[in-house]
Amino acid sequence: MTMPDWKLPPGVDRGVWDYVHSPTQAEAYDEVLAGTPLLEHDLQFTQTWLTPVGSLIDLGCGTGRLLMHLAPLGYRTVGVDLSEPMLLALAYKAERDHLSIARWKASLVELTAIRDGVFDHAACLFSTFGMIRGIAARRRVLAEAWRILKPGGRLVIHVHNRDHLLIVPYGQRWWLRDVWRRLCRSPLAGDRTMPMPRAGADVTLHHFSRSEILDELKRANFDVLTVETIAPDRIGPLRASWWLAAIRSYGYLVAATKPK
């Protein structure tokens, strides 16, 4: 039975709902994304900044890419995702590799079942945060992340860079339209809708400027520790980041902390 739109969880539109409930998307996820430079670099970034080893919640864990990397290193891991097919794929991989990884099906906007201040670390990677629809819902996700972290706990988050689309042919028309939406202070500014093969309806992904993601983290009472510009074509940070990084960067990896 199809979920009617009015029953969709906060921050979830039809495209994301179809995406997370697509068995074929979950089955092909690891294979399709294998070799993507970002998916190697963000593991390195996360391991560097989520120290020391402790409890970790992955917000939007998918098939468990991060958790499968960190659990063998001693992290006590929990994966949260709205996608049952993705969580089943994670369960299979964890059992195969004899890893203890807790899993929970939930919307990132509604984590009220988790007590305050129980995690040392949290992660929200591969633009999962941008898949949350609407600024109010995204702010609730950050508020929930802040709430469930211990004082001194750390968050790593990834977002796609809005202004990088100015220099790629497929994004230039969207970028020009988005300038107008920003001038008009439209709540849809930054939202880019694109087809999602094997998943149903089109998915809308919010793209951020550097200042926007930093402002949102500070608004949620996080202290920003570092911002890394991501190279679009190789594993690692952008080279010569002093030169036009605002448009050359494919996205941003940010580490932040909840003050003690």
Tell me how far apart the alpha carbons of residues 9 and 160 are, in angstroms, rounded to a whole number: 23
Tell me how far apart the alpha carbons of residues 116 and 131 are, in angstroms, rounded to a whole number: 25
Report whether 245 contacts 223 (CB < 8 A).
no
Q: What is the pLDDT of residue 195?
A: 82
Q: What is the pLDDT of residue 217?
A: 98
Tell me how far apart the alpha carbons of residues 17 and 115 are, in angstroms, rounded to a whole number: 26
Tell me how far apart the alpha carbons of residues 43 and 48 are, in angstroms, rounded to a whole number: 9
Residue 230's nearest CA partner among 254, 214, 212, 206 is 254
Bridge pairing between strands 76-81 and 191-194: unpaired
Tell me how far apart the alpha carbons of residues 245 and 115 are, in angstroms, rounded to a whole number: 39
Tokens of 94: 């964890």
Q: What is the pLDDT of residue 26?
A: 87
Strand partners, 58: 79, 123
pLDDT tens, the chain, 260 aa long: 577 888 899 999 999 999 888 888 888 889 888 888 999 999 999 999 999 999 999 999 999 999 999 999 999 999 999 999 999 999 999 999 999 999 999 999 999 999 999 999 999 999 999 999 999 999 999 999 999 999 999 999 999 999 999 999 999 999 999 999 999 999 999 999 988 766 678 999 999 999 999 999 999 999 999 999 999 989 899 999 889 999 999 999 999 999 99
Tell me how far apart the alpha carbons of residues 129 and 137 are, in angstroms, rounded to a whole number: 10
Q: What is the pTM of this model?
A: 0.95
Instruction: Give the HSE-up count for residue 222: Cα atoms under 13 Å, Cβ half-sphere.
Output: 30
Report whether 32 contacts 199 (CB < 8 A).
no
Beta strands in the chain, from DSSP E residues, in sequence order: 55-59, 76-81, 101-105, 119-124, 149-160, 191-194, 203-206, 223-230, 251-257
Tell me how far apart the alpha carbons of residues 188 and 221 are, in angstroms, rounded to a whole number: 24
Q: What is the pLDDT of residue 73?
A: 97
**The residue to which tokens 């560097």 are assigned:** 48
Tell me how far apart the alpha carbons of residues 193 and 57 are, in angstroms, rounded to a whole number: 28
Instruction: Go through the domains of the chain in sequence order and give each one's CATH number.
Output: 11-257 (3.40.50.150)
Q: What is the pLDDT of residue 68?
A: 97
Single-letter amino acid, residue 28: A
Report whether 205 contacts 196 (CB < 8 A).
no
Report whether 251 contacts 127 (CB < 8 A).
yes
Instruction: Give the HSE-up count for residue 124: Cα atoms under 13 Å, Cβ half-sphere.
Output: 26
Tell me how far apart the alpha carbons of residues 11 and 184 are, in angstroms, rounded to a whole number: 23
Beta strands in 60-170, from DSSP E residues, in sequence order: 76-81, 101-105, 119-124, 149-160
